[in-house]
Amino acid sequence: MFEVDARGLSCPLPVMRTKKALGADPGSLVVLVDSGTAKANVSNMLADEGYSVTVTDEPDYFRIEATRS
Amino acid sequence: MSRHRVVGPSAWILGAAGLVIGVGAAWLVSQGNPGNMGLCIACFNRDITGAFGGAWANMGGVAYLRPEILGLLLGATAASFVTSEFRPRGGSSIPLRFVLGFVFMLSSLIFLGCTVRAWLRLGGGDLNALYGIAGIVAGVMVGVVILKQGFNLGRAKVTSPIVGWIGPAIMAVLLVLAFMVAFGSAPGFVTTTPAGAKATAEGAVVQGDSVLKPPGGTLEDGAVVAEDGTVISPAESVAKAPPMPGGRRAPFAISIVAGVALGVVAQRSRFCSIGGIRDAVLVRRYDLLFGVAGLLVGATVANLLLGQYNLGFVGQPIAHTNALGNFAAMGVAGLSATMLGGCPFRQVIMSGEGDADATVAVLGMFAGALVAHRFVIASTGAGLSDKAWPVMAVMAVVLLVIAFAKRERVA
């Protein structure tokens, strides 16, 4: 399971790091972010890359789980 | 199922958000805001600074607690609160974010508009904005190179709620003061440019039929005459005097409601005026570009329908025609915004979401505005200040030093 911890990073680093992880063409991926902006940008990118995305609202961050659909 | 989608639903949402912001900005001009300045984050933050800087900072003509900014930020707070996206956080390179906000403001006041107003100016037919937009593209491209080298201001951390609430709290206080201004009971330390006032080239200020400056002056046959009878500004100069930007404003209720509405739209859509170019170059994503495209289309169509469209280079509202200056100033602004992680619009919105680092960037903008006017670095309709080029050169060096210092090796 690939995990990208992008918590606390400014734009566009969460998207850059997720994109880098996608280079290995993982079947599934978890990205942790802590701002609404990063949550939306990363989720949108994963959806556009053909993943189905679920976001869980943790107390201090958002957990984005993506599975190749 | 296709594996890669170039234009997804989020792109259309951003395009629609940009359209709403562009139309809203053009409409605010028709309601009284300055020309092609229905919404300008730099100009309006500058006006807020002017309300406190006043005559000391040469800001008498650009002093008004713009309700749009207060509404944007508090609208974002409300939207983020409802969607549980209000997250108090901060602590990522605080001093550098102040400097980047400061640099962004200074360069915007040399161009005469931020990276949002550059597109709005083009949407009003001001072709000088093309040089500014070319500058934004160049600045963002440099920023992309810097990002690829591993530039990172560091991680923000979860902070106590009090820290996250600083941005909204500042705006709430300013909102109370803005209410007092609107109802004519503002405290003495708040300066407000008289509505509809015009400044002549000789420094006299006229509001309708009365002379506000010099004290005791009168209008005789259209000329401003001092108490002792000397002519300060000839009638021809008075007739040609442009309105002071701070005195051009939509009614308070319209400005505040529009600000809140656009704040909600921006918070939900993640609209950013530099992210589009950045993401297109950096990660081949075009969502955010749909946002600025929508803003340009919305502003252009609305300006045409409202009869505010004026195509050309000369005689544009609150603009100068120095092409190289416009290019360089927006280049510096584009680079500083890229290094900040988002344009000033986004900084205001993120400040509303509890991001204390974004609040610091906004405070840096306030400081930049004070310095730009106190030391006469800001441009005027006549052109650049003689300090503009040296200041831009220093700012470019400062940005590159920060870029180098905050490079982190990425495996």
B158 touches A: beta carbon within 8 Å: yes
B181 and B206 housed in the same domain: no
Q: Looking at the structure, tell me whether residues B119 and B102 fall in a common domain.
A: yes
pLDDT given for residue B18 in this prediction: 98
Cβ B11 vs Cβ B20: under 8 Å:
no
Tell me the pLDDT band of B6, cut-offs 50, 70 and 90.
confident
Assess whether B81 and B218 both reside in one domain.
no
Q: Which residues pair with A3 in a beta bridge?
A: A30
Q: Is B1 part of a structural domain of the chain?
A: no
In a shared domain, residues B232 and B101: no
Q: Which amino acid is at B91?
A: G
Residue B286 lies in a domain: yes
The reply to whether B45 falls in a domain is: yes
My answer on whether B113 and B227 are in the same domain is: no
Longest dimension (CA), chain A: 30
Whether residue B256 sits in one domain with residue B228? no
**What would the mean pLDDT of B92-96 be, rounded to a whole number?**
96
Tokens 């006032």 — which residue?
B197
Q: Which helix (H) or strand (E) holds B70?
A: helix B67-82
Given B207, B242, B277, the domain boundary residue is B242
Question: Over chain B, what is the mean pLDDT?
Answer: 95
Which ipTM value was assigned to this complex?
0.95
Tell me, yes or no, if B340 comes closer than 8 A to chain A by beta carbon.
yes
A62: closest chain B residue by CA: B85
Put residue B36 in one of left, alpha, beta given phi > 0 → left and psi -120 to 50 → alpha: left
In tens, the pLDDT along B248-288 reads 999 999 999 999 999 999 999 999 999 999 999 999 999 99
Assigned domain for B253 exists: yes
Q: Is the dihedral of CA B369, B315, B200, B184 positive or negative?
A: negative
Region A61-65: mean pLDDT is: 96
- How many angstroms separate the CA atoms of B401 and B411, rounded? 22
* Contact criterion met (CB below 8 Å) for B272 and B343: yes
- Same domain? For B273 and B374 the reply is yes
pLDDT tens per residue, range B118-132: 999 999 999 999 999
Q: Which of B206, B225, B242 is the last residue of a domain?
A: B242
Domain total of chain B? 2
| Phi (first) and psi of residue B191, to 5 degrees | -90, 140
- Is residue B59 in a domain? yes
Q: Is B270 on the interface with A (CB under 8 A)?
A: yes
Contact across the interface for A48 and B355, Cβ inside 8 Å: no
Q: Which domains does chain A have, with CATH numbers?
A: 2-68 (3.30.110.40)
Q: Of B224, B242, B260, which residue sits at a domain end?
A: B242
Residue B4 maps to a domain: no
Listed residue (B149, B107, B176, B178) closest to B378, CA to CA: B107
Residues B223 and B107 placed together within one structural domain of the fold: no
Query: Can you give the residue range of the structural domain that contains B216?
Result: 198-242
